[in-house]
Structures are given as structure tokens and as C-alpha cells.
Amino acid sequence: MAQETVFRVGLASCGIASGSAPVFERLNSLLAGIPGARLQRAGCVGLCFHEPLVEVERDGARYLYGEVSPEVAERIVAFHLRGEGRVEDHLVASTVQDAPENGMLARQVRIVLRNCGQIDPERIEDYLDRGGYTALRKALGMKPEEVIAEVERSGLRGRGGAGFPTGLKWKFTRAAPGDEKYVVCNADEGDPGAFMDRSVLEGDPHSVLEGMAIAAWAVGAGEGVIYCRAEYPLAVRRLQIAIAQAREAGYLGKDILGTGFSFDVHVKEGAGAFVCGEETALLASIEGRRGMPRPRPPFPAQKGLWGKPTVINNVETFANVPWILIHGAEAFAQHGIGRSRGTKVFALAGKVRKGGLVEVPMGMPLRELILGIGGGVGEGRTLKAVQMGGPSGGCIPEPLLDTPVDYESITATGAIMGSGGMVVLDDTSCMVDVARFFLHFTQGESCGKCPFCRIGTKRMLEILERITRGEGEMEDLDRLAELAVQVKDGSLCGLGQTAPNPVLTTLRYFRDEYEAHIRDKRCPAKVCSALVHYRIDPETCIGCTLCARTCPVGAISGERRKTHVIDDGKCVRCGQCAPVCPVKAISVESP
């Protein structure tokens, strides 16, 4: 029997944005009618910086190719099916030979991402071939209390940010009185730089559905809702496909697997309000009301959706559950440290070389994660900090990067674990501007219910904007700290309570940058446009006119082959001129 050669193309959002669709189409035409060759779509394997990606599998050996164009796809087919040509220049990972990213993948432990990039997310058969829905069968043969106890023993905590013990939340919901209960999946991923949940939904939606069904059996729920932001159209589409397939196969709907247990799921598309990531605001949105938080208690476990007991967990949390049921609580708990067990998925973004998704054991030091797996920052640049936890998180400076990745250790730095967004910053990043960016986000996303959040974040933002313009006063630093405490103490929900974190951590670790903006009217990172000037070195300029032709406001003048000058009064500091100068004659200066 001839060996089958499988060609997989990464068709998650990152791959499609990088041009994987034409690659898939070219492979589809090249492989049509060839015996023993099969083309398969796949989700994101995590190496987003190498997209478009094509993997070739034959007889258990795997070869992953990056930066693949339709022309390179032809070379890959010729090499693997006919033994013609060479494609080593595009090989990024392999199970049988050395490749650049073998080490990056070897440092990871994949539980949540176990199927991402390995299966066609639109085929339930692929999920079943890798043991899919076996955990649900096992759970339905156990008592609900036994399922909850297994999740408790694993040490799984909510991966949405707060880190509340998952088994304990399920226990509270099961114990709550009432015959009608719900399971809700929070897929309203809104942190800038975060894309963990989106990638799981696009690459392995059945793992989330299976986790939700197990939770429903454990707590006694009959209906589930996945609240997914409408800005994730591919994730929503693949969820809908997976739900329909699971119903047809008997894993959702009435009398699941002939056990008498009934549970079904539908998708609710959110309109993109960041505050709806807070569970009570999310529930209000599902019910058709304005997404605004309410006081707790009562907690959703007692009074949630439609006033009924409700379990709310995020995508990553549910995706862990089937693995735990199959492999056992002890196997999961062997990863991690202290009260933080298992693995955590992170989205590496910002100034890091190898941006994408990684899944590592809890307890790995930040330095190993960013430098060892993420490849550090660009050549000639210096790692300055990492921003964790999204707009609700904080900036951890380079000297603290030996901090282990666990809930308590990260919180001690002033940041939070959050859902897993990790934005790497280098010496070209202005920490005052970073604080301003995140506060601008949270101020705009405040629902407006609490005066401290609505007005306090506005006043803080005004102060930060003054400082970035060089108009700040030293007293502003005390005002920021005072306002931060008031906003944290006076806000109802997590958005307001954590909104000041980026400001507080940058004040704590990078106060010298604030003082430079205020006292010296200088931005050390040369980012704040009001505090920088662009200058052309007359000794270096060759008069090529490229900068003048690029300038959108006509601030650069000069004749061909003669020195050019920048009119500082006209210059809008857009920064478009410096990259096009072939002799690097344009410099950015801050007094």
C-alpha cells in the first residue's frame, strides 16, 4: 500500500493575512488527481512570524516550511513527491532533522494547543482520530461529583485572568438550587496584542465544545452559550460548523450518546465592547441588555444567565478539560509550581523577534520565555520590559524578568497574568507613551457606570497627554498616583479596578522617564512627537530627494544632489522620511 503524503496549510487568521489562501489554492491544483497525496487545511501552529506555513507529513516524519509563496509551494511538491530540487531554505521545523525552530517548539508543553495546526478544524473526523470526545464519554460514565473532583485535583484555574479555581466554581454551581442551569464560554478576547482564544477557536473548536459539555454534565446544565466577538468572523464560522457536526454525531443535543443527558450550544456574537469581558456585563449582553457590570454577590454561580446558576469559563480553560479527563489530574498537575498548575498559552507580540503563540508550563521564568522561546528583541536593541495582562496589566522591567510565570509572582510585580497577552518592549518604547496608550484604551472602553472609572481615568489620561507634550509638572506624578488609588477603590468591576495598573507600574519602575519628559522636556526613547525633532546631516545627505518625495506635508526642501533641510515648523513628526533615506542621513533628536 502506497504511503500517504499529507500537505497541511495554516489557514487561521494569521496565515490568511500573510497570504496562505493562494498557497492553498496552488497546492490544490498541483495535488489534484495525484494518488497518495492529500491536502488539508489547519489552524495556527503558533509560529505566526513564519506565516504562510505549509507542513508535509509522510510516514510519521514532519517537515514545516515557512514564508511559503505559491512558487515555493511548487518546489515543496516537487521535492516531496518527485525528489526534485531543494527546499531547505524554507524549512523552519522538523521531526527528523535540524531546523531553526525545533528548539522553540521543544521548550513548549502543548495541552491546549495539542491539536492546533495538526487537524482540519472543519472536520470532526480529524478531531475524533486524535481521541476527540473520548473525555466526554468517560465523563458521562462518571458521577458529576467525580468529574468536579478530578478537575479540582488537577489544580486548573480560570485562564481568563482572575485565576479562580475551576473545580470550585463548578462545585458552587452544582450546589446552587434550581433545575435550570447554564454553561457560558467567554470568548470575548479584547486585550490589545492577545489572540490566544481566537487561535484555539479557529484551530480546534471541538475541544472547547467538549470541555463545555463535560462542564454541563458536572454542574447539571442543559444549555450553553459561547460569547464570541463579531470581530472574529473565522472563529465564529468554524464554531458554527463544529456545533452542527457535533449535533449530527450525537455529542450535542438530546440524549447525548444514549445516556439521557441533553446539552446544546449556540453562539452569541458580541459587538466588541471590552467591558463585556467582565462576566456580569457579558451575561447582560447575552440577555440583550447593555453590557454593564453589576455588583457581586450574588455571583453567577448562584444567579447568572437569566437569573439561573451559571458556570462561566474562558476558551482556554474549557480546552484544558478534555485533556485532564483523559490523562488524569496528576498528569496535569505535574506541570507548574505552587498554586499555579498546568500550562499557560501566551501571545507574544510587540518588539519580540518570534511573535506568535506559545504554551509553556506554569513557573517558567519570563526571561526564558521571551529570550529562549521568543528570540528576544531585534539586533542592536535592548530589552526594556514586558507588558502583561493587557490594559488591566502592568509593565515588568527587564531586571525582574527572572520572575516565574505564575499567578502570585506576576501579581507581586504589579502586573497580572490576564488572559495571556504579552507585549515585549525594547529601548525604542517610551514607557510614558505606553501608559498613555493603555489608559486611552480603558478610558474609551469604560461603560460609564462608575464615576471614578468614567471621570478618574479621563483625568489620568489628560495628565499623561500633557506629560507626553512636555507640558507636565512634577506634581502631576503625585496626582496620577492619587487618582489611581481612587479609581481602583471606587470602581465596581475589574476594568476600573485594574485600569491604573499600567500607570502605576511605569511610575514604579520607570519614574526617570516621566521626570525626563517633565523636567528636561525630553523623550528618552524619542517617541513622543512633541518632544522630538528630525534633522538631516548635511555631511551625509546625497540629495537623492527620496525624503522630500515621501514627506506628506512638504516639510523637506532641497535640490537634487544638494543637501536637503527639514522645516521644523512644518514637520508633523510622522517619521516617514528616515526609513527611506539610503545613507541614513536623517536622525531623530530629543533635546
Compute φ and ψ for 395, nearest 5 degrees.
-100, 120
Would you tell me which CATH number, out of the four given (3.40.720.10, 2.40.50.140, 1.20.1440.230, 1.10.10.10), belongs to the domain 431-519?
Answer: 1.20.1440.230
Alpha-carbon span 298 to 302, nearest angstrom = 6
Would you tell me which CATH number, out of the four given (3.40.50.11540, 3.90.550.10, 3.30.70.100, 3.40.190.10), belongs to the domain 124-332?
Answer: 3.40.50.11540
Q: Which part of the chain has CATH 3.40.30.10?
A: 5-106
pLDDT at 162: 79
Per residue in 248-283, pLDDT tens? Answer: 999 999 999 999 999 999 999 998 888 999 999 999
Task: Name the burial class of residue 60, with classes exposed (0-12), middle (13-18) and buried (19+) by CB atoms within 10 angstroms of its CB.
Answer: exposed
Give residue 390's pLDDT band: very low, low, confident or very high (50, 70, 90).
Answer: confident
Q: Output the CATH code of domain 337-426.
A: 3.10.20.600
| Mean pLDDT in residue range 58-78 | 96
pLDDT at 2: 55
CATH superfamily of 5-106: Glutaredoxin (3.40.30.10)
DSSP characters over 219-268: HT--EEEEEEETT-HHHHHHHHHHHHHHHHHTSSBSSGGGSS--BEEEEE
Per residue in 352-384, pLDDT tens? Answer: 999 999 999 999 999 999 999 999 999 999 999
Q: Output the CATH code of domain 532-589.
A: 3.30.70.20
Alpha-carbon span 202 to 456, nearest angstrom = 38
Is the per-residue pLDDT at 1 higher than 50? Answer: no
Q: Which part of the chain has CATH 3.30.70.20?
A: 532-589
Percent of the chain with pLDDT over 90: 93
Is the entire prediction scored with pTM above 0.85? yes
Q: Which part of the chain has CATH 1.20.1440.230?
A: 431-519
Alpha-carbon span 216 to 255, nearest angstrom = 13
Compute φ and ψ for 158, nearest 5 degrees.
-55, 130
